[in-house]
Chain A
Amino acid sequence: MRYEAPRTLADATGMLASCPGAARVLAGGTDLLVALRSGLVEPELVVDIKRIPGMEDIVAEDGGWRVGAAVPGAVLSRHDGVRRQWPGVVEAVELIGSTQIQGRATMVGNLCNASPAADSVPAMMAAGALARVAGPDGRERDVPVGDVATGPGITSLATGEVVTSVFLPEAPARSADAYLRLIPRTEMDIAVVGAAVSLTLDEGGRCAAAKVVLGAVGPRALVVEDGAAAIVGTSLDDEAVAALEAAASAAAQPIDDKRGTVSYRRKVAGVLARRAARIAATRAGERS
């Protein structure tokens, strides 16, 4: 294995594209080093992107925030601007691993690792986040975060492409988000189910727009359109959130594994979606 730490994006994408064998991008390394150690991956080349300018920066842009691919959770969670606009995204990132993992793990790494149980991905999707993808031809494209992972461990990225940042757009007025996950203990585990809700209230306090996204109950994070439709136009009364809960349970496509059964995950998907919606609505109300 060769280790390279290029100083420019062009060098990084060039190295990745021209490597004849398997190549991996290294940002926080909390997934990659475990995979290397276990022999799960045996890349010919590892490209550390942390020395490329901008990768460790959080920059204000168009009223929102651009978060570099190498920004660790410990830095993101201390960023008041991001936390104010997207508390649900920040709380999702903070749930990833221990303090030590937070010192290294990145939101973009969580995205590109493409685990169905990735905590930050449903939250980013609910926030309408865009991933910026740089290619070896020097071109950049912005893709919805939900289009990056296509299945467990699989992404839509082409050879030589690197996600360089995630853009969290400006949260509209009277908006907020929330993320909840269930694990069998209080810390340090992988989601049995995760649920993110982002919503906007109108001036009368009714839900004007919503996005509901579930994690760990399908091969990739699932958008629950019916769940959002169940609460839009309502004041999140009991009937509306019950309809959201039913829609989320119905949309879940979980598997049975050691973390939970199909029926348990279906049930929990609904419960978490309902609770996350209520938290997001309360937060949005506090901000209006």
Chain B
Amino acid sequence: MSLQHVTTTVNGDAAEFLCDATETLLDALRDRLGLTGSKEGCASGDCGACSVMLEGRLVCACLVLAAEADGREVETIEGMAGTGELHPLQTKFLELGALQCGVCTPGFLVAAKALLEEHPDPDETEVRYWLAGNLCRCTGYDKIIRAVLETAADLRGQ
């Protein structure tokens, strides 16, 4: 079986890899490019641990074929922090202890960042609905929701 050659942009940097046609973007990110921040939880689009941005839209990397990323822009958790500085959501998650085992955390952070870019002033219900596709089996969600709401308020300068 011949491999596909994929040229893409990941976190602003050009990237290329060879992949099998059945390989997912999640597999390619982790196994071809060494970007292991995106996690595989369910591999069926239910848990959101593999959340990434593809062409500016929040998606599950497990439901994207790696070959589809050719010529597209991908953003992952690895691109979230600035140089030597965490994203405000990351800082707030640490401050409030909005994580325990951490497997779901990259997905929550990527999804929450997408939320705040689109809705800078969400209410609690909006945050809960937006993050309904991110499952956490440790925290009970409350600290995560609070961290997102507090970050939103901080970013609005309140």
Partner of A101, one of B54, B114, B133: B133
In the bound complex, do residue B48 and residue A46 qualify as a contact, i.e. CB atoms below 8 Å apart? no
A243-B59 Cα distance, complex, nearest whole Å: 43
Interface bin, chain A: 20 to 34
**Given A3-B4, A3-B67, A29-B64, CB of A100 within 8 Å of CB of B111:** yes
Q: Is B30 an interface residue (CB 8 A)?
A: no
Q: Is B31 an interface residue (CB 8 A)?
A: no
Question: Across the two chains, which residue of chain B brings its CB closest to A75?
Answer: B57
A2 near B: Cβ within 8 Å? Answer: yes
Q: Is the interface of A mostly helix, strand, loop or mixed?
A: mixed
Which of B8-16, B38-46, B78-86, B97-105 lies on the face that meets chain A? B38-46
Contact B24 A74 (CB under 8 A): no
A19 at the interface (CB under 8 A from B): no
How does the 8 Å CB contact mask read for A75-106 relative to B, with 1 for contact and 0 for none?
00000000000000000000001111101100
A34 near B48 with CB under 8 A, answer no
Nearest residue, chain B, Cβ from A104: B59
- Judge if B158 is at the interface, Cβ distance under 8 Å: no
Tell me whether A29 and B133 are in contact (CB under 8 A).
Answer: no
Contact with A104, one of B43, B46, B64, B130 (Cβ below 8 angstroms): B64
Asked if A34 and B63 sit within 8 Å, CB to CB, the answer is yes
Check: A188 CB closer than 8 A to any chain B CB.
yes
Total interface residues on B, CB under 8 Å, equals 31
Question: Do B21 and A3 touch across chains, with their CB atoms under 8 A apart?
Answer: yes
> If the complex has contacts A2-B21, A36-B22, are A99 and B58 also in contact, measured as CB distance less than 8 A?
yes
Query: How far apart are the CA atoms of A119 and B92 in the complex, in Å?
Result: 37
Q: B35 in the interface, Cβ–Cβ < 8 Å?
A: no
- A108 CB to closest chain B CB (Å) equals 17
Task: Tell me the bound Cα distance from A19 to B128 in angstroms.
Answer: 45
Determine the chain A residues whose CB is within 8 A of the CB of B63 once the complex forms. Answer: 29-30, 33-34, 100-101, 104
| Residues of chain B with a CB closer than 8 A to A26's CB | 65, 68
Residues of B within 8 A of A50 (CB): 68
Interface flag for A254 (CB, 8 Å): no
In the complex, the answer to whether B59 meets A100 with C-beta atoms within 8 Å is yes
Across the interface, do B65 and A33 meet the contact criterion of CB distance under 8 Å? Answer: yes
Docked CA distance A30–B65 (Å):
11
**Residue contact B132 to A187, C-beta cutoff 8 Å:** yes
> Is A154's CB within 8 Å of the partner chain B?
no
Where the two chains meet, the residues of A that have a C-beta atom closer than 8 Å to any C-beta of B are 1-3, 5, 26, 29-30, 33-34, 36-38, 46, 48, 50, 72, 74, 97-101, 103-104, 186-188
- B residues whose Cβ falls under 8 Å from a Cβ of A: 4, 21-22, 24, 43-46, 48, 51, 54, 57-60, 62-65, 67-68, 70, 111, 114-115, 129-134
- Given A26-B65, A104-B57, 15 additional A-B pairs, CB 8 A: A1-B21, A1-B22, A3-B65, A5-B68, A30-B63, A33-B45, A37-B24, A48-B65, A74-B58, A97-B45, A99-B132, A100-B58, A100-B111, A103-B54, A186-B129
16 sample A-B contacts, Cβ–Cβ < 8 Å, listed by A number:
A2-B21, A29-B63, A29-B65, A37-B44, A38-B44, A48-B67, A98-B48, A99-B111, A100-B51, A100-B58, A101-B45, A101-B63, A103-B54, A104-B59, A104-B60, A187-B132
Top 9 closest A-B pairs, CB basis? A98-B133, A3-B21, A187-B132, A103-B57, A103-B59, A100-B60, A3-B67, A33-B63, A100-B133
